A and B are shown apart, each in its own frame.
Chain A
Amino acid sequence: MALTISVPFIDYNSLRKFSNAVIKDINHISENQSFSSSGLSTFPELNIMPNYVNNGHLDEITSSPQDDNFEDIFKSFLEYLGEYLKQIYNTLKNGWNEIFPSLFDILIKYLLNYTIEEKLLPVSSFEEIFQYAKIFGLKYISYKTINRLAAGIQYNIINYNWITEKNLEELKEFNHEVDEKYQNAFKNLVNLWNISKNEKEFAEKMNQELNQIIET
């Protein structure tokens, strides 16, 4: 998927003219807000940028205009800047929301491939990666990922109990809009999960009997 970011026109003369003012303003913000504690480096906190255009921080700067059009140009620049950052943020946010399910799918695919090759599942439970994925903003799971998990159970690559009942409940309604493909994939996952569970219980009984035989 290609990401497109439309960049608003920026008047570089205006930018140069007011760069000092902007720096001063940014310094003002940094004096009054703790960036580290507010987590400015995370996406949600970037929301302050568009709002920042109209907030009280402008008062100090606009109190010492260099020419008649200063205020208008400055506001215009900040609007540009705000719009620009807003677009970047939205694009990244939307892009991330679209990209992340694919990344998650690739991760699951990698885990299953690794398990086939190395005969060892590197992650002890689905919960472990699912929790992290949610923290990093996973809000949608592709039906392909669900199919992959179902196939993983079917081919004995993963144990059914690698995915807990709680995970299944969560996966059932994880997507905001559940389409038919997802519903079918989820149904298959649940069916195979139950089949595998019953099979393991049968195997366990067999093992108990076998153990009794060899131990007596």
Chain B
Amino acid sequence: MAYLSIKKISLIEQGDIFKNLPIFPHFINDDEKIQIWNENISRIINNNLPSEPISFEIFPIPSMGILLNQDCDIEKTRYLVFAEIRKGKDKLNLKPLKSFKQKIKIIRDETRFHYLPPWNSGENENNPWVVDFLSIFLVPINLIKNNMDQYFVARLTPEFKIIFKDKISRFFTRLPFEDLIFLNSKERLAYKKDKKLSDEEYETRIKEINS
């Protein structure tokens, strides 16, 4: 079992899964808002008082998330840090012989994603829930603390929690490097073929190594 069989919690823990969390995907992402922000900041930098306060219209989107904060930090913080959980659109292979390998691959080898088994009985296991560590968002702690029942979904069992902690650690401590630097010229060409790199992409990467 990946989850504890509890419906309610009194304290929030790392790895807890919540639903209906407000995510602001385009809070200050569009050109108009960026321009307003830049103009106002440049005024301040140049010692000019802004003529009016900056305000933005925001549209929160309800999302599902898994808590990344360490247990000891939760009580101290104003904002909780979540990684977004999304439903994988592309389904896992229906054959168990292939699907178990796919699951293990996401759990063991992938740094960006983490596989979560379904928490509702009867849910299609081949349409997996996936934690996306590239989509991280903040939620005020009071929002959840004051309405825990409304947001709480599931809590990982201790074993699954350890694995999840490892995945967090791996994502934030990973060191990006160029695979090609370890390979000889023949291996590089084999790598290009295996990874289906275009000529342009391959040449760019080789140029970067040589520079």
- In the complex, the answer to whether A203 meets B89 with C-beta atoms within 8 Å is yes
Given A195-B25, A198-B26, A210:B61 Cβ within 8 A: no
Contact mask B107-134 → A, CB, 8 Å, 1/0?
Answer: 0011011000000000000000010101
Given A213-B110, A214-B105, A206:B26 Cβ within 8 A: no
Interface size class of B (residues with CB under 8 A): 20 to 34
- In the complex, the answer to whether A214 meets B106 with C-beta atoms within 8 Å is yes
- In the complex, the answer to whether A203 meets B59 with C-beta atoms within 8 Å is no
- In the complex, the answer to whether A213 meets B25 with C-beta atoms within 8 Å is no
Q: Which of A185-199 contact B (CB under 8 A)?
A: 188, 191-192, 194-196, 198-199
Given A195-B25, A199-B25, A214-B106, A209:B112 Cβ within 8 A: yes
Given A195-B26, A213-B106, A207:B90 Cβ within 8 A: yes
B158 interface residue, CB < 8 Å from A?
no
Q: A195 to B57, alpha carbons, bound, how many Å?
A: 13
B86 interface residue, CB < 8 Å from A?
yes
- In the complex, the answer to whether A206 meets B86 with C-beta atoms within 8 Å is yes
A62 interface residue, CB < 8 Å from B?
no
- A195: chain B residues within 8 A (beta carbon): 25-26, 59, 61
B140 interface residue, CB < 8 Å from A?
no
- In the complex, the answer to whether B112 meets A203 with C-beta atoms within 8 Å is no
- In the complex, the answer to whether A211 meets B26 with C-beta atoms within 8 Å is no
Shortest Cβ distance from B109 into A: residue: A213
A132 interface residue, CB < 8 Å from B?
no
Q: Which of A146-201 contact B (CB under 8 A)?
A: 154-156, 188, 191-192, 194-196, 198-199
Chain A's nearest CB lies how many Å from the CB of B108? 11
Chain B's nearest CB lies how many Å from the CB of A93? 39
Q: A194 to B32, alpha carbons, bound, how many Å?
A: 13
Contact mask B134-171 → A, CB, 8 Å, 1/0?
Answer: 11000000000000000000000000000000000000
Q: A156 to B62, alpha carbons, bound, how many Å?
A: 8
Chain B's nearest CB lies how many Å from the CB of A51? 53
- In the complex, the answer to whether B61 meets A199 with C-beta atoms within 8 Å is yes
From A191, A192, A210, give the contact of B90 (CB < 8 A): A210
Q: A211 to B90, alpha carbons, bound, how many Å?
A: 6
From A155, A206, A213, give the contact of B62 (CB < 8 A): A155
Given A206-B132, A213-B110, A192:B59 Cβ within 8 A: yes
- A214: chain B residues within 8 A (beta carbon): 90, 92-93, 102, 105-106
From A196, A198, A207, give the contact of B89 (CB < 8 A): A207
Chain A's nearest CB lies how many Å from the CB of B72? 31
Contact mask B71-99 → A, CB, 8 Å, 1/0?
Answer: 00000000000000010111011000000
Chain B's nearest CB lies how many Å from the CB of A156? 7
Closest 5 CB pairs of A and B: A214-B102, A211-B90, A207-B89, A195-B26, A207-B90
A154-B60, A213-B110, A214-B105 known, 7 other contacts, Cβ within 8 Å? A195-B59, A196-B61, A198-B25, A199-B25, A202-B135, A206-B86, A206-B132
Residues in A lying within 8 Å of B, measured CB to CB: 154-156, 188, 191-192, 194-196, 198-199, 202-204, 206-207, 209-211, 213-214
Q: 20 A-B contacts, Cβ less than 8 Å apart?
A: A191-B59, A192-B59, A195-B25, A195-B26, A195-B59, A199-B61, A206-B86, A207-B88, A207-B90, A210-B88, A210-B90, A210-B130, A211-B90, A213-B106, A213-B109, A213-B113, A214-B90, A214-B92, A214-B102, A214-B105
